[in-house]
Amino acid sequence: MTDEQWNILLSVVNGEIPDRPLTGFIIDSPWLPGWSGYSTIQYFASDEIWFEANRQAVGEFPEAVFLPGFWAEFGMCTEPSAFGAKIIWNERDLPYAEKIFGSLSDTIDLKVPDPVKDGLLPFVIQRLKNNQSRINKLGHEIRFAVVRGPLNIASFLLGTTELMTGLIMDPERSHKLLETITQFSVHWIQYQKEIFPSVEGILVLDDIVGFIGEDECREFALPYISRIFKSFDTQVNFFHNDAAGLISAPLLKEMGVNLFNFSFEHSLTEIRQLAGPDITLLGNLPPRDVLAAGTPASVKRETTEMINSFKERRRVIWSCGGGMPPGVSTENIRAFIEAVYETDKNINLDKEN
């Protein structure tokens, strides 16, 4: 992210209305390899291909803010690998982490991993080190430290069904597991900040928060996620949950979140009412069915309708409801960005008249 983009992002998060509406997308391995002409395994295995794919994206769409920007990641496998999960790699599909525990009782002696040495974490850091000078030469900086959320990591280590059952049937062991994961997450976030002082934001991604009830969210999500966002002083605390977000939305401010990306199944108006006026919303076009599967004309139409249905211009970044999915074309992204600018311009002209 360039200094100009970062400053615009901060101004939006702080409640200012920019001269031009801000568009932004979460981009990573589900979209970047295919869009830039590489296989998934090539993207993960090669520093050169990883850098080139990201360079192409920021060069093709300078109007958009890509979050977190030059993201060094290995799908959903980065953090589970530090705990010893076996990673299964595929040529075209995302890798996945096999669970390592059969039940909550098996997790009782789980140790906190060392982010300096364990799993794929050193490779994440080294990839950014290897490419930092080239990233900087493009005018970009490493702005975010990134971690999957505690419930998300726990679901990979234990299995989603086992985790959900454990939260209800064995809350004591569930808390112990989440405590271990949170200690690791805080260390991992702090280590990223230590290596890259330009980091001033934290991105936490946890879709499992969308599968639990209000009481469970307060008990098993809120305290641990808020600790991660307090790992160091930040300007942007970015939370991604594109599963059901109605339960967690009212708790975002308490979590320390000031930027939220959520499911397209919730309207911007609905999330604004639940989250309050202080949370910047990143959304909310359907990512797969419209942005990926639609035509440029349908993307423009749906984007215009989305903007016109949301009466606010403060603390909003126009995007899709989740990360950029596979198969989104250059033409559809262009159509989205053009529709955002044209619709906003027409709204302003109507106000003047």
Tens digit of each residue's pLDDT (9 = 90 or more) over 129-159: 999 999 999 999 999 999 999 999 999 999 9
Report the distance separating Cα 340 and Cα 319, nearest Å: 10
Whole-angstrom Cα distance, residue 120 to residue 77? 8
Q: Provide the residue count of the chain.
A: 353
pTM: 0.96
Is the Cα torsion angle 272, 277, 278, 284 positive or negative in sign?
positive
Q: What are phi and psi of 123, to 5 degrees?
A: -75, -35
Give 8-63 pLDDT, tens digit per residue.
Answer: 999 999 999 999 999 999 999 999 999 999 999 999 999 999 999 999 999 999 99
| Percent of the chain scoring above 90 in pLDDT | 96
Nearest to 149 by CA among 240, 216, 75, 67: 240
| pLDDT > 90? residue 171 | yes
Cα distances (Å, whole numbers) of residue 344 to 8, 19, 261, 336, 351? 17, 10, 21, 12, 11
What is the pLDDT at residue 245? Answer: 87
- Cβ contact 65:24 at 8 Å: yes
Work out the pLDDT band at 353, boundaries 50, 70, 90.
very low
HSE (side-chain half, CA atoms, 13 Å) at 142: 23
Q: How many CB atoms lie within 10 A of CB 105?
A: 10
Strands (E), 27-71: 64-67
**Is the CATH number of domain 3-352 3.20.20.210?**
yes
CA dihedral 73, 77, 82, 87 (to 10 degrees): -120
Q: How far apart are CA 204 and CA 76, in angstroms?
A: 12
Query: Which residues does 54 contact at the CB level (< 8 Å), separation at least 6?
Result: 32, 70, 71
Domain ranges of the chain: 3-352
Only one residue has tokens 């981009």, namely 27
The span from the CA of 12 to the CA of 315, in Å, is: 5
What is the overall mean pLDDT for the chain?
Answer: 96
Other Cβ atoms less than 10 A from the Cβ of 161: the count is 9
Query: How far apart are alpha carbons 235 and 230 in whole angstroms?
Result: 11
